[in-house]
């Protein structure tokens, strides 16, 4: 497998136009942040109107709850640009936040029961109602507390120029790929996705930052977690409890479970369509429309595709009222969304440049590396590896399972496997450094390799060490970080030009919402029927 990687790297390095094409990749970030009241609980106040409309604003919206802000950068040309974009959005958000703070960690603050988590509201239009009903269904299916766990999503796409160069090189070296360009692109992205799943445990190991949780989150439920102090549960070697058994999952093979198929784009779309069209007895008991009010969009395994929890998704931008699976079927894969990043409590942005440089290397590595189809055994191993790393990733001698050269599963220590992967990524990083006239990519891989050899350098270990040193539980530690980040933005002015830009976006989004509400001419029942029938 490594031989193929070296071969493809050599081809790209020898092509005069590949470096320029590689430098044109696009990066986008989506960061979720929970608004917290001065008393320390999930805020009950509505989405600030000064931020604009969460239905139509391109950069400032909400996720599950009215209290869970979602900040979305546009696709950017570089790591520096995307961090600056996130910084500007957060700066505006902080400056229009009344006496509240944004929570600095993935795991939420004090949760006073399910009813303390308000559903996101988007107005009176059919599109707005659909969003709220979908969220009501999520709360009934999985519990509202699970839905206010925050994360950072990393969106990545290679440029059209790169795909043109890469398809040409692949045709010359590995035999003709007699495919339309978009079919070739989708096939390559699906290979990348399979490798992101295979090696995805690296992300929580290196960047996981949720080794502890406020006891209120579990609301008295029995747990395997250990007690850190009177208000905190933890696991001593955990990296990302957000991705573990206590987090939001619906991909287990139980009565309500669904497994996506990543063999090809067609197979992936078919598995999603099956899930959104197959009734589920458990959800039928909840009911769809009860006493005239929708409890969920339908009683199927998935209400819509977005409900499927996976650490990575192939994506296409849907057009108005278009289902994600229909968008993929019509126009192929446009980018990949990596969803397994915890909010980095050690940086006011929630993520830093070094992480992003590494993730770019990781993306190119996963594209160039051989990516056979996933067997049932390997899929089971992928799930088990992710859970093991989430709960015990820093445990000395921890062993994972991987498919060997004969595709049979074999055991290997996390440290050996991570070290091997980081060493294989170094020439990939070198190619990206050359394309971008810098040394940041190689430096990021070198830094992560240090964390492989010394787990105490990881964010999860640093968080527990700080909690012990300060003799504070998770809540007080996270609150202290949150206040510090709030102060960072107060001391970090936003230019008048950028302030005016965001104020204009907010006004325009509110006007768009009002227009959508005025233009509604059909009932909500008809709207849903049209959506699910693709009419």
pLDDT at 111 (0 to 100): 78
pLDDT tier for residue 176 given thresholds of 50, 70 and 90 = low
Look at the chain and count its residues.
535
Angle between helical axes of 265-277 and 181-198 (0-180°, round to 10): 70
DSSP states along 278-318: SB-HHHHHH-SEETTEESSS-SBS-SSGGG---SEEEE---
User: What average pLDDT does the structure give for the chain?
Assistant: 94
Task: Tell me what the mean pLDDT of segment 455-472 comes to.
Answer: 97
- 252 pLDDT exceeds 50? no
Report yes or no: 240 and 390 within 8 Å, Cβ to Cβ. yes
* Residue that wins the pLDDT comparison between 114 and 162: 162
Q: pTM for this structure? A: 0.96
pLDDT classification of 253: cutoffs 50, 70, 90: very low
| pLDDT above 70 (res 256) | no
CA distance 322 to 533: 10
If you average pLDDT over residues 38-63, what whole number do you get? 94
Mean pLDDT confidence for 414-432: 98
> How far apart (Å, rounded) are the C-alpha atoms in residues 362 and 358?
6
State the pLDDT at residue 112. 72
Comparison of pLDDT for 171 and 465, the residue scoring more: 465
**What is the reported pLDDT for 425?**
98
- pLDDT at residue 254, as a whole number: 47
Give the pLDDT of residue 257.
59
Indicate whether 28 pLDDT > 60.
yes
Residue 113 confidence (pLDDT) above 80: no
Question: What is the SS3 assignment for 10-29?
Answer: HHHHHCCCHHHHHCCCEEEE
Residues 27-40 as b/e (b if ≥16 CB within 10 A, e otherwise) read bbbbbbbbbbbeee
Q: Please list, in sequence order, all residues whose beta carbon lies within 8 angstroms of the beta carbon of residue 130, skipping any fewer than 6 positions away.
A: 297, 524, 527, 528, 531
Alpha-carbon distance of 181 to 161, in angstroms, equals: 11
What pLDDT score was predicted for residue 145?
A: 87
Model pLDDT, residue 250: 53
pLDDT tier for residue 249 given thresholds of 50, 70 and 90: low
Average confidence (pLDDT) over 159-165: 97
Range 251-260 average pLDDT: 59
pLDDT band for 177, please (50, 70, 90 cuts).
low
User: Given its phi and psi angles, is residue 511 left (phi above 0), alpha (psi -120 to 50 degrees) or beta?
Assistant: alpha
Examine the pLDDT at 50 and tell me if it is beyond 50.
yes
**Where is 69: in which H helix or E strand?**
strand 68-72
What is the band of 152 on the pLDDT scale with cuts at 50, 70, 90? very high
What are the sequence ranges of the domains in the chain?
Answer: 26-157+179-532
Listed range (154-158, 177-181, 385-389) with the worst mean pLDDT: 177-181
- Render pLDDT for 18-27 as a digit per residue (tens, 0 to 9): 999 999 999 9
Task: Give the pLDDT of residue 248.
Answer: 53
On the question of pLDDT at 251 being above 60, the answer is no
Q: Dump pLDDT digits (tens) for 263-274.
A: 999 999 999 999
Q: What is the pLDDT of residue 255?
A: 47
Asked if pLDDT for residue 76 goes beyond 70, the answer is yes
Task: List the CATH code of the domain at 26-157+179-532.
Answer: 3.30.590.20
For residue 52, what pLDDT is reported? 98
Give the residue among 397, 343, 403, 344 at the shortest CA–CA distance from 370: 403
């Amino acid at each position: 497998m490594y031989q193929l990687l070296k071969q493809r790297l050599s081809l790209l390095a020898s092509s005069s136009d590949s470096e320029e094409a590689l430098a044109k990749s696009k990066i986008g970030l989506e960061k979720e942040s929970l608004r917290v009241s001065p008393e320390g609980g999930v805020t009950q106040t509505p989405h600030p109107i000064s931020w604009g409309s969460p239905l139509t604003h391109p950069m400032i919206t909400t996720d599950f709850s009215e209290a869970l802000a979602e900040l979305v950068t546009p696709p950017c040309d570089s790591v520096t640009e995307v961090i600056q974009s996130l910084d500007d959005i957060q700066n505006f958000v902080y400056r229009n936040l009344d006496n509240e703070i944004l929570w600095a960690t993935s795991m939420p603050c004090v949760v006073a029961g399910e009813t303390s988590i308000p559903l996101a509201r988007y107005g009176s239009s059919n599109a707005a109602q659909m969003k709220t009903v979908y969220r009501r269904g999520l709360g009934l299916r999985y519990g509202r507390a699970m839905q206010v766990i925050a994360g950072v999503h990393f969106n990545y796409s290679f440029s059209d120029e790169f795909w043109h160069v890469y398809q040409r090189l692949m045709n010359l070296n590995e035999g003709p790929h007699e495919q339309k360009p978009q079919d070739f692109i989708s096939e390559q992205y699906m290979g990348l996705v399979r490798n992101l799943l295979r090696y995805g445990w690296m992300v929580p190991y290196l960047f996981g930052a949720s080794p502890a949780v406020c006891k209120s989150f579990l609301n008295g439920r029995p747990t395997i977690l250990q007690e850190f102090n009177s208000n905190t549960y933890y696991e001593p070697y955990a990296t990302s409890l957000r991705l573990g058994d206590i987090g939001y999952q619906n991909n287990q093979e139980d009565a309500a479970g669904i497994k996506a198929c990543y063999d090809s784009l067609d197979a992936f779309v078919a598995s999603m369509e099956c899930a959104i069209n197959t009734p589920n007895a458990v959800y039928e008991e909840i009911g769809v429309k009860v006493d005239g009010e929708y409890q969920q969009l339908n009683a199927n395994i998935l209400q819509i595709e977005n409900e499927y929890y996976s650490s990575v998704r192939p994506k296409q931008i849907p057009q108005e009222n278009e289902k994600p699976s229909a968008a993929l079927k019509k126009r192929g894969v446009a980018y990949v969304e990596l969803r397994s990043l915890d909010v980095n409590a050690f940086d006011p942005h929630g993520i830093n440049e070094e992480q992003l440089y590494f993730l770019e290397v990781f993306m190119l590595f996963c594209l160039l590396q051989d990516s056979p189809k996933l067997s049932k055994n390997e899929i089971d191993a992928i799930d088990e590896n992710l859970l093991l790393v989430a709960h015990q990733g820093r445990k000395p001698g921890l062993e994972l399972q991987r498919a060997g050269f004969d595709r049979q599963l074999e055991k290997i220590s996390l440290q050996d496997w991570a070290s091997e992967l980081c060493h294989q990524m170094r020439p990939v990083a070198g190619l990206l450094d050359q394309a971008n006239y810098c040394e940041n990519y190689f430096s990021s891989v070198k830094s992560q390799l240090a964390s492989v050899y010394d787990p105490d350098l990881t964010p999860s270990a640093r968080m527990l060490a700080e909690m012990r040193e300060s003799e504070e539980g998770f809540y007080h530690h996270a609150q202290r970080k949150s206040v510090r980040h709030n102060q960072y933005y107060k001391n970090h002015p936003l230019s008048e030009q950028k302030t005016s830009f965001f104020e204009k976006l907010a006004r325009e989004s509110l006007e768009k919402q009002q227009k959508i509400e005025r233009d509604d001419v059909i009932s909500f029942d008809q709207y849903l029927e049209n959506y699910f029938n693709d009419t």
